[in-house]
């Protein structure tokens, strides 16, 4: 009964299995390589963006540091005609965080007031 049936397959199953075992690593390697190149390009673009942001941060810190200098603050106040000066020792109020997370004013410390006030 089995002898009269014709073979349907063109290649023996063992030959196909061996061909698949040989070809599979090459297919997996090329797919993995493509994915790695994609990730590599994405990392490169993120590194460029990070470098730009770091340079911008340094520029902004330098500008802010320049603007915080007392002479530049006074010049800006004069430019906009704002009559403002430094607080006196009595005007400095220190804040304390209470255990419940709220803040309450306390009497200013003499040393802290002297540290922040200008005469």
Residue 70, CB half-sphere, CA atoms under 13 Å: how many? 5
Q: Please list, residue by residue across 96-119, b when 16 or more beta carbons sit within 10 angstroms of its beta carbon and e when fewer do.
A: eeeeeeeeeeeebeeeebeeeeee
pLDDT of 86-113, one tens digit each?
788 888 877 777 676 665 555 444 445 4
| pTM higher than 0.85 | no
Quick one: pLDDT at residue 73? 86
Residue 27 burial (10 A CB sphere; 0-12, 13-18, 19+)? exposed
Report residues of the chain scoring pLDDT below 50.
107-111, 113, 119
Quick one: pLDDT at residue 110? 46
Domain ranges of the chain: 10-84, 86-119
Residue 92 burial (10 A CB sphere; 0-12, 13-18, 19+)? middle
CA dist 115 and 94 (Å) reads 12
């Amino acid at each position: 009964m089995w002898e009269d049936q014709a073979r349907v397959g063109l290649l023996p199953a063992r030959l196909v299995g061996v061909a698949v075992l040989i070809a599979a690593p090459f297919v997996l390697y090329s797919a993995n390589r493509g994915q790695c190149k994609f990730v590599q390009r994405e990392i490169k673009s993120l590194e460029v963006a990070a470098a730009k942001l770091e340079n911008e941060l340094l520029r902004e810190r330098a500008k802010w540091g320049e603007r915080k200098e007392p002479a530049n603050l006074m010049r800006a106040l004069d430019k906009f005609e704002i009559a403002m000066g430094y607080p006196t020792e009595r005007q400095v109020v220190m804040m304390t965080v209470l255990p419940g997370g709220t803040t309450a004013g306390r009497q200013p410390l003499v040393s802290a007031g002297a540290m922040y006030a200008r005469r």
